Amino acid sequence: MKEREGTEKIELPEFPPNNIYPADWEFRNDLEWRLYSRSKREQWDEEKLDWARLDEIVTGLDNKERLAMAYWWALLSTFDNANPVFSYAVVKAHELKEKTAVRCLLNTIAFDENRHNIVCGMCINKLCPGFPMKFKPANDLEARARANIIWTWYNGARYWKAYLDSYNKYSTDVLFTSFMMGEAAATTVFTQMSGNTKISTFREAFRQIAVDETRHYAFTQLVMADGAEKMNEERKRLVTKQIKAGFIFLSLITYKLPEKSNTFWKLPHYFVEVNEKMEDIARDAGLGIPLLSEKEEAWRSAVMKVGSSLKRYGIRLPEIPELGISGDDVGDVDGDEIVPVF
């Protein structure tokens, strides 16, 4: 607006870059605001799950079954300890002046992820209080199961630092679309587990988490649609590599540890053997963990879903031979190069 002639010229401050001020609002993208409204409508309270029923079921489990289920929930928490990931994204989105709706959606995802993490903790507390850090193993299997989780969390600590650094290396469209593979896989796997589990408390938890992850996937789609036209070929190749990184990272809980993952995961030599043993025990006790063939089919479905979306924007899928999927050979995925997809 032009100052009227004779109006005193008022000096205004110059704001520092990458700051949450000045405040700003815009309400232009109807799709993003509709997803924000949906996220508020679909909120749920983890405390209202039927925890009393779980208490009853736990009394009928032996110690090995309780530990195996607690082990699985603790392994899941490596990926569901994601509230700080999205909370940090909220801060960066404000500093970088992302659209108002994007900032609002990141807030809802951060809240969702906090709830998912609390569900993990509440389940562990019911099954095997204090696991893993305060747990006292009674035999070699228990000791190795405990070590598996601690080593997995150690990898989470490695990638937390990489995630913080990624905002200095990559644009936000690449960063946020990097979560796409994880959200697609999570939606498929949690839906699968909701149908498989024999434990009603877990069934409802998995169902609700799957609904949340569906929204999170929709968010990555909106970010992709908004940013893809501005992506050059280098950034598109980086997204392709991130899809492969998402597969390697999340396969630990949702599939199996890929053979060529030494530069990505730092784990003890007995990890796979112990992990498979604990999964078998938990599955037989009613947790609902899919069989390997079911996991493979779920992943293949998730990758193809992501691939069809990426194709619209000229972004190719990576080659994933474990699933029989051909695509671009992105080479070895080094942990220092990726954006962690918690």
Q: Do the domain assignments include residue 15?
A: no
The CA distance from 108 to 112, in Å, is 6
How large is the average pLDDT for residues 20-24?
Answer: 96
Q: Do the domain assignments include residue 233?
A: yes
Task: Read off the amino acid at residue 206.
Answer: F
Q: Do the domain assignments include residue 4?
A: no
pLDDT, position 102: 94
Q: Which residue has the higher pLDDT, 269 or 302?
A: 269
Q: How far, in whole angstroms, is CA 327 from its chain's centroid?
A: 23
Query: What is the band of 342 on the pLDDT scale with cuts at 50, 70, 90?
Result: low
CA dist 253 → 39, 51, 131, 186, 306 (Å)? 26, 24, 18, 10, 19
CA dist 272 → 134, 186, 259, 280, 294 (Å)? 23, 21, 10, 12, 18
* 8 Å CB contact between 183 and 153: no
Q: Please enumerate in sequence order all residues whose Cβ is within 8 A of that of 328, keeping only pairs 6 or more positions apart, or say none.
A: 237, 240, 316, 317, 318, 319
For residue 172, give both structure tokens: 């936000």
Out of 52-66, 211-225, 257-271, pick the least confident.
257-271
Q: Do the domain assignments include residue 219?
A: yes
pLDDT, position 5: 65
Q: Position of tokens 């899919």?
A: 290
Q: What is the pTM of this model?
A: 0.92
Q: Residue 318: helix, strand or coil by DSSP?
A: strand
pLDDT, position 86: 92
Tell me the CB-side half-sphere exposure of residue 68, using CA atoms within 13 A: 22
Q: Do the domain assignments include residue 328?
A: no
**Among candidates 151, 218, 176, which has minimal Cα distance to 89?**
176
Q: Do the domain assignments include residue 338?
A: no
How large is the average pLDDT for residues 216-227?
Answer: 88
- In tens, the pLDDT along 77-101 reads 999 998 999 999 999 999 999 999 9
181: domain range?
30-323
- In tens, the pLDDT along 35-48 reads 999 999 999 999 99
Helix 200-227 to helix 292-311 angle (10° resolution) is 20
pLDDT, position 339: 63
pLDDT, position 198: 97
Q: Which residue has the higher pLDDT, 124 or 182?
A: 124
Q: Which residue has the higher pLDDT, 337 or 47?
A: 47
CATH number, domain at 136? 1.10.620.20
pLDDT, position 169: 82
pLDDT, position 337: 59
Q: Do the domain assignments include residue 14?
A: no
Out of 81-95, 127-141, 246-260, 264-278, pick the least confident.
246-260
β-bridge mates for residue 320, sequence order: 325
pLDDT at 6 > cutoff 80 = no
* 8 Å CB contact between 70 and 287: no
pLDDT, position 247: 84
Total structural domains within the chain: 1
Query: What is the band of 119 on the pLDDT scale with cuts at 50, 70, 90?
Result: very high
Q: Do the domain assignments include residue 62?
A: yes
pLDDT at 3 > cutoff 60 = no
Q: Is the omega angle on the peptide bond into residue 22 within 30 degrees of 0, that is, cis?
A: yes
pLDDT above 90 covers a percentage of the chain that reads 58
